[in-house]
Amino acid sequence: MKSGIHPKQYRYVVFQDSSADFTFLSRSTVKTKDTIVWEDGKEYPLFKLDVSSASHPFYTGKQKILDSAGRVERFRRKYGLAAAE
């Protein structure tokens, strides 16, 4: 095995999604500079996220669905093409 490529510390880390005001505690090897006091009164490293399951459109149900059939019909009408049978 190569030396120096494996993470040094697998520990508990608090992940915080700032856009959804959502935090969770998990184990990770991510490097952090900030700390936070968790609900159990202990201090843990803090990693700030831009997107999590609480704010991602796929998980929140606010995902846009493209109307590809409508786009095809508009193209055919615009250029006078007959529908494929």
**Residues 17-33: pLDDT tens digits?**
887 778 889 899 988 89
pLDDT averaged over the chain?
A: 78
- By mean pLDDT, which of 4-13, 34-43, 73-82 is the weakest? 73-82
Q: What are the counts of helices (DSSP H) followed by strands (DSSP E) for the chain?
A: 2, 4
Residue 49: per-residue pLDDT: 84
Residue reference for tokens 């201090």: 43
Do 6 and 40 form a contact (C-beta atoms < 8 A)?
Answer: no
Q: Which two tokens stand for residue 6?
A: 């494996």
Residue 14: CB atoms within 10 Å: 23
pLDDT band at 69 (very low <50, low <70, confident <90, very high): low
pLDDT of 39 higher than 80: yes
pLDDT band at 74 (very low <50, low <70, confident <90, very high): confident
Nearest to 23 by CA among 54, 56, 67, 63: 54
